[in-house]
Structure 1
Amino acid sequence: MAVLALLPLGYVVGFTATTPLADLQRLLLRARTAELLVNTTQLTVVGVVLCAVLGVGAAWVVERRTVVGRRVWHVLLVAPLAVPAFVSSYAWISVAPTLNGLDGALLVVVSSYFPLVYLPVVAMMRRLDPALEDTARALGLSEWAVFRRVVLPQVRPAVLGGSLLVALHMLSEFGALQLLQFPTFTTAIYDQYRSSFAGPAATALASVLVLACLLLLVAEQGARGSARYARVGQGTARAATPVRTRARLPLTAVLAVVVGITLVVPLGILVRWLALDASTGADLGRLGPAVVATLGLGLAAAVLTLVLALPVGWLAVRHRGAVATVVERSTWFASALPGIVVALALITLTIRHARPLYQTVWMLLAAYAILFLPRAVTTVRAALAQAPPGLGEAARGLGAGTVGTFLRVEVPLMAPGLGAGAALVFIAASTELTSTLLLAPTGTRTLATQFWSHSTSLEYSAAAPYAALLVAVSAPATWLLTRASTRRPRRGSGLAPAVVDDGAPSATLVG
């Protein structure tokens, strides 16, 4: 898996290494590169902070406060994942053509990606032991102090993992930023490849994204620390009871504003375009094949990526060490690269070393697996990290082998994470654009590629049916994510997490 995930990185590094230093300096040390660096850094830093604040805050309100319609709000806060960022940007600029620049980019990307933080935080909050919070309140801590000193340290892995995913998405985002005319390294790489066909300038820009990804991985690894988060007490922690608050209606109003901006406005604009122009029926004959291709590729990518993520997540949690860290971290590098770079790396390799695979569906699925493996690894790792290792030890002590323990103990405990990972990969693969444009077999058209061909020509009404079907195709997977994140551990499973020292001995689990 590490070798497969590092293929695009090897392509970029090898291409850059063969470029003379003087040429690299000429390509990178210029005003345009400085502008791209500033834009990309601003978008990533500010966007990650806003997504983290919005995701953690929304999770805290929904899980720990008595707001009106808690279950409904949870579904609505996850639903923006079903609206791709480039569809959201299409909706906004179709009614506000002057929306562009950093403000417009932040509006779209934060609206689309904050659920990547909200989901894991909600899932982890539901497994926290509320006795710790009750004890903190009994000792006189305020609600803010309870959140800051008790809850936030325990959900730190979820916040960091979700924020890392958001950062990598922002580094590689193309469609939304291209429509909003906000230049970043990704849009510049696309323009360079389109004009000079894999020229050295584009590859040099891609090397900057690789360096940015490396810095993000090192920062996330250091912030995560070495603490373990599986509960070591006996039995199962009770479910937390939401705290009554006088700010019930204001908090509900805040959630309504968030949902209105991130979901209601884009979908409302989309419905408006569908209703305005009945002439879109001329394209209806292409909708069926596009839907079939999108569903087939999305499901195949989800299964393949999940199978590849299982051993990586298991190794990272159950066998910590330098090798496990290298293997897990290597799966993240390609996610910082635009899909077009991954696609061109695979095209180059297949033409030179595996020509029969060129322009086949297997290359497209390989690109999806490389791009979206971190989504699956993150969810698998989070689910397995909360499964006490003592259960596996007990199974092996009762005579179960390594494979039997993995299949009968570890996999059932990871089931919610597996479902969430599959849903995340399906949504990403169904809406992927740039690598699909390059790698899809001749004649294969997905909803995303058909939508893009119309939206770039400003044919808003013609693009609307494809955008609406993209949302409809992603909706079931989004619903699955809401189910997985709200699933509580079964009685006696001992899965509610609490931070314990890395060297703390595991207590006997009674179930």
Structure 2
Amino acid sequence: MSAPTLERPAPAAPPPARAPRRRPDGFRVFGWAVSALVCVAILYPLVIILGDVLGIGEEPSMAGEIWSEATSEPALETLRTTVLLVVPAGVAALLIASLLAWVNERTDARIGLLADVTPILPMFIPPVAGAIGWVFLAAPSAGLLNGAIEGFFGLFGADVDGPLNIFTWQGLFFVYVLDLVPFAYITLAAGFRNLDPVAEEAARISGAGPLETFRRVTLPSLGPSIGGALLIVMAIGFALFSTPIVIGTQAGVDVLSIEVVEAMTRSFPAEEAKALGYGLLLLLMVTLAWLLQRRFVRGGGHATVGGKGLNSQPTRLGPFRHVARAFMVLYLLGASVLPILALVIVSLERFWTASVPWGDLTLDNYRNLLSNAIVVDALRNSVIVGVCCATIGMALAAVVARITHGETSRWTGVVEGVTRVPAAVPILVLSLAFIAAFVGEPFRIGGTTLLLVLAYTVIFFPHAVVNASSAYLQVGPQLREAGAVFGVSEGRTFLRVQLPLMLPGLTSGWAFLFVLVAGDVTVASLLAGTGNPVAGFVILDRYNTGTYPPLAAMAVLTTLLTTVVVTLALLFSRWQRNRTTAGVRRRAVAAAGTPTP
């Protein structure tokens, strides 16, 4: 037996080296800081107005007075009138938008570029200009259409009074529908583009006609899109101010939005409790629409989005193709062409009459307006505020979209939820919140352009985030991952690679925001004044004083400015898209080793 030998124990393994602490990426820190700033800007006014309502702070509680105003008999009667107007108008707008989207996206009735422009063209016209245009067309005594009808029958010796009267419930309903259709169309058209066509093809093979397929197959498959469009049209419809103030007041139809604005602007001191009480009812209606939308979306239990390989031939409408095209043309006439034509004609008259004095038309109204300092300031302020809000909003939204869709953190859901809050709160309620938060101490920026820019940026920020998120998701995460592999910083990858590819989508969102801000009357009616006039504020002031030809000229100038800026933005978007596509094609050809033609 051999004696055991003593061996020196192996040396202990050295402790594992600590990995060097990774420095946080500067762009990521910047992105989270921007997201936090946006969340504060959204929540702060709402917290302040909630504190005023509950009496948190030095001010006594207004909750009891607000509740009393909200449940008073006049408030409930106004609520009933508003619901009876907005809900049917929203449903009608959904049906018209669904039909337009189906014709443009799924049938052979498209009319080229006009098919894409027709449904959204009214969005480029300020709602107040469209409403005033229809007043000039269908007013009972001096409407241009009434004058044309009377003149036509006069050729045959018949004495006929013009049958149209825009100052009725039916007239107000008609213009409401025209205002809401474009907002529903944007959501529904996207849904049609993503819809799997297999079910429609199966229905057609089974012998179903185009309309039956649309009613029994296509519409039920669009649950999420219809639900989203429903929420949008209800939120906009309940907060719409320009159309009811122009048409509804003379029609004797009182709605909640008018009562809120008049409580804050027509009384001294302002009736804050009444405005907040009626605003509470607006918030309740939007909340009900949101709950209905969620239930509607949950009702769909099957996926309807197909891949790129499932594209099918458009549905052939046969002889109904001409009917569908006539429907699109009629919509374009009613929503855009006729109101603008009426505004142009009246703006060239000395006095508004049903019979157009073709030999006495003049440009004096435009000369007088452009020599008026307040009007020039209003037009300039509208462009400046619109450009600033659109630029700031889309820049912030691009960073927020990068954080919410490019990071994996529980806080991304919080940021995404907070940035959607303004879409769920009526515009008038948000305007009241900004008055409560920034007019008094410590900011005291009431009546300034800064307050307008801040309010518009926050109020329309959900629209900016939607467009920025779509642009970011189209680019995809692969480029960011490739940059990380090659050691490129997050900020450099975003600024040099992702942002240029996102630019066409961001430019389209910029144009949309500019139109919303430059043509707005709702926020301007509460936050603008003689010290910071904007176009919508001046248009309403001219309408209240009854100076109709100068009013028409002001509406035409506002529409012209909006159209020019939006057209330039969209042309830039197309140029950038073509430039990016050409660059990608050149790099692909170079990588393949073939000479570039």
Normalised by the shorter chain, which TM-score bucket?
Answer: 0.7 to 0.9
CA distance in 2: counterparts of 1:399 and 1:150, whole angstroms: 50
Q: Which of residues 175, 199, 204 is equivalent to 2:272?
A: 199
2:257 alignment counterpart: 186
SS in 2 for 1:69: coil
2:129 alignment counterpart: 87
SS in 1 for 2:369: helix
Compared CA separation, residues 239 and 51, structure 1 to 2 (3 A) = same
Q: Which of residues 418, 423, 428 is equivalent to 1:337?
A: 428
Q: Which of residues 459, 463, 467 is equivalent to 2:555?
A: 467
What are the within-5 Å matches in structure 2 for residues 450-465 of structure 1?
450-465=538-553
Compared CA separation, residues 145 and 341, structure 1 to 2 (3 A) = same
Whether the aligned pair in 2 keeps the contact of 1:334 and 1:342 (CA below 8 Å) is: no
2:150 alignment counterpart: none
Alpha-carbon displacement from aligned partner over 1:13-72 (angstroms, at most 9, x marks no partner)? 223223355434432222111112112223332232222221121011122222262322
1:498 alignment counterpart: none
Alpha-carbon displacement from aligned partner over 1:221-242 (angstroms, at most 9, x marks no partner)? 5555699999896xx6587643
Alpha-carbon displacement from aligned partner over 1:100-125 (angstroms, at most 9, x marks no partner)? 35433322222123112223433454
CA distance in 1: counterparts of 2:49 and 2:169, whole angstroms: 28
1:243 alignment counterpart: 315
The yes-or-no answer on 1:6 pairing with 2:78 is no
Alpha-carbon distance, 1:448 to partner = 2.0
CA distance in 1: counterparts of 2:437 and 2:392, whole angstroms: 17
Whether the aligned pair in 1 keeps the contact of 2:447 and 2:529 (CA below 8 Å) is: yes
Q: Which of residues 328, 342, 346 is equivalent to 2:419?
A: 328
Structure 1 stretches lacking a partner, 5+ long = 494-511
SS in 1 for 2:460: helix
Q: Which of residues 59, 62, 81 is equivalent to 1:39?
A: 81
CA distance in 2: counterparts of 1:109 and 1:482, whole angstroms: 30
What are the within-5 Å matches in structure 2 for residues 71-82 of structure 1?
71-82=113-124
Alpha-carbon distance, 1:361 to partner = 2.4
Alpha-carbon displacement from aligned partner over 1:374-413 (angstroms, at most 9, x marks no partner)? 2222333444556656665566566565445555665456
Alpha-carbon distance, 1:73 to partner = 3.4
Q: Which of residues 105, 112, 116 is equivalent to 1:70?
A: 112
Alpha-carbon distance, 1:266 to partner = 1.0
Compared CA separation, residues 93 and 189, structure 1 to 2 (3 A) = same
CA distance in 2: counterparts of 1:78 and 1:378, whole angstroms: 17
1:105 alignment counterpart: 172
Compared CA separation, residues 237 and 184, structure 1 to 2 (3 A) = same
SS in 2 for 1:331: helix
Q: Which of residues 391, 397, 414 is equivalent to 1:303?
A: 391
Which moved further from structure 2: 264-273 or 222-231?
A: 222-231
SS in 2 for 1:337: helix
Compared CA separation, residues 440 and 99, structure 1 to 2 (3 A) = closer
Alpha-carbon distance, 1:365 to partner = 0.4
Compared CA separation, residues 228 and 130, structure 1 to 2 (3 A) = closer
CA distance in 2: counterparts of 1:412 and 1:223, whole angstroms: 38
Amino acid across the alignment from 1:284: L
Amino acid across the alignment from 2:41: L
What are the within-5 Å matches in structure 2 for residues 371-390 of structure 1?
371-384=459-472
CA distance in 2: counterparts of 1:201 and 1:230, whole angstroms: 46
Amino acid across the alignment from 1:172: A
Whether the aligned pair in 1 keeps the contact of 2:42 and 2:419 (CA below 8 Å) is: no
CA distance in 2: counterparts of 1:33 and 1:53, whole angstroms: 30
CA distance in 2: counterparts of 1:315 and 1:136, whole angstroms: 43
Tell me the matched-pair count: 486
Whether the aligned pair in 2 keeps the contact of 1:230 and 1:387 (CA below 8 Å) is: no
Alpha-carbon distance, 1:135 to partner = 6.8
Q: Which of residues 313, 329, 354 is equivalent to 2:443?
A: 354
CA distance in 1: counterparts of 2:555 and 2:316, whole angstroms: 40
Amino acid across the alignment from 1:74: D
Whether the aligned pair in 2 keeps the contact of 1:346 and 1:363 (CA below 8 Å) is: no
Q: Which of residues 321, 337, 342 is equivalent to 1:269?
A: 342
CA distance in 2: counterparts of 1:154 and 1:397, whole angstroms: 41
Amino acid across the alignment from 1:242: P
Q: Which has the larger radius of gyration?
A: 2
Amino acid across the alignment from 2:40: V
CA distance in 2: counterparts of 1:320 and 1:260, whole angstroms: 49
Whether the aligned pair in 1 keeps the contact of 2:127 and 2:519 (CA below 8 Å) is: no
Report which structure shows greater RCO (CA 8 Å, sep ≥6): 1
The yes-or-no answer on 1:51 pairing with 2:93 is yes
The yes-or-no answer on 1:284 pairing with 2:382 is no
Question: TM-score normalised to the size of structure 1?
Answer: 0.81
CA distance in 2: counterparts of 1:84 and 1:207, whole angstroms: 27
CA distance in 1: counterparts of 2:108 and 2:516, whole angstroms: 33
CA distance in 1: counterparts of 2:399 and 2:284, whole angstroms: 26
Whether the aligned pair in 1 keeps the contact of 2:196 and 2:304 (CA below 8 Å) is: no
1:255 alignment counterpart: 328
Structure 2 stretches lacking a partner, 5+ long = 1-37, 56-60, 141-164, 351-361, 585-597
Which moved further from structure 2: 430-439 or 82-91?
A: 430-439
2:18 alignment counterpart: none
CA distance in 2: counterparts of 1:407 and 1:184, whole angstroms: 47
Alpha-carbon distance, 1:302 to partner = 0.4
Which moved further from structure 2: 197-206 or 274-283?
A: 274-283
1:502 alignment counterpart: none
Whether the aligned pair in 2 keeps the contact of 1:173 and 1:186 (CA below 8 Å) is: yes
